[in-house]
C-alpha cells in the first residue's frame, strides 16, 4: 500500500481530535525500517521497532466497524508480530479517559506502569494525562 492509502485508512480510524500523524509522517513510515504498519480489514496499527521493544504508536478501527472484535484481532496480530520479532516488551501510551482502548489493552494483560501528566492536547486549553501500559512477552 502507498503512504497515501495508509494515511487515508488512518484518518478513518482515528478520532478527529486525536489526529497526530500527517501524510508526510506516513511517507517517512513507509520508508523506515524502524516502523511497521499492520493493516487488517478496516483497521490499522503503527508500531515503532527497537532491538527489544515494540512501541504501539497507534491502533484504530474505523468508527462504523468498532465493537465487532476487529480491535482484538488487530491487537492479536500486533502481539504475534512482536513475538516473531523477538521483542521482550510492548509499550504504549493511552489517554486516561480512553475507556475502550484501556479495556482492550487490559484484556490482553497489559499493565499500567506510569502516567504522563497533561500529555495529550485535546483542544485548546484542555489536556489529558496519558497512561503508560506495558506487556511483557518474556515467559
46 forms part of the interface with ligand COA (CB under 6 A)? no
Q: How many residues at the interface with ligand COA, by CB under 6 A?
A: 23
Closest CA to 38 of 4, 69, 82: 82
Asked if 116 and 79 count as a contact pair (C-beta separation under 8 A), the reply is no
15 forms part of the interface with ligand COA (CB under 6 A)? yes
26 forms part of the interface with ligand COA (CB under 6 A)? no
20 or 22, CB closer to ligand COA? 20
86 or 97, CB closer to ligand COA? 97
Spatial CB neighbours of 105, under 8 Å, sequence gap ≥ 6: 75, 92, 94, 133, 135
Asked if 82 and 54 count as a contact pair (C-beta separation under 8 A), the reply is yes
87 or 91, CB closer to ligand COA? 91
45 forms part of the interface with ligand COA (CB under 6 A)? no
* CA dist 86 → 50, 59, 137 (Å): 11, 20, 9
87 forms part of the interface with ligand COA (CB under 6 A)? no
Strands 126-136 and 111-123: antiparallel
User: Of these, 80, 103, 118, 136, which contacts ligand COA (CB under 6 A)?
Assistant: 103
Which parts of this chain interact with ligand COA (CB under 6 A)?
A: 13-15, 58-61, 66-72, 92, 94, 98-101, 103-104, 107
Amino acid at each position: 500500500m502507498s503512504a497515501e492509502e495508509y494515511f487515508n485508512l488512518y484518518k478513518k480510524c482515528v478520532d478527529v481530535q486525536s489526529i497526530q500523524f500527517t501524510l508526510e509522517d506516513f511517507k517517512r513510515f513507509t520508508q523506515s525500517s524502524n516502523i511497521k504498519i499492520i493493516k487488517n480489514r478496516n483497521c490499522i496499527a503503527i508500531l515503532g521497532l527497537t532491538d527489544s521493544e515494540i512501541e504501539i504508536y497507534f491502533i484504530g478501527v474505523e468508527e462504523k466497524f468498532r465493537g465487532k472484535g476487529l480491535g482484538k484481532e488487530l491487537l492479536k496480530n500486533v502481539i504475534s508480530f512482536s513475538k516473531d520479532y523477538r521483542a521482550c516488551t510492548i509499550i504504549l501510551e493511552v489517554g486516561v479517559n480512553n475507556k475502550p482502548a484501556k479495556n482492550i489493552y487490559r484484556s490482553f494483560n497489559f499493565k499500567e506502569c506510569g502516567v504522563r501528566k497533561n500529555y495529550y492536547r485535546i483542544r485548546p486549553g484542555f489536556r489529558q494525562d496519558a497512561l503508560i501500559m506495558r506487556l511483557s512477552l518474556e515467559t
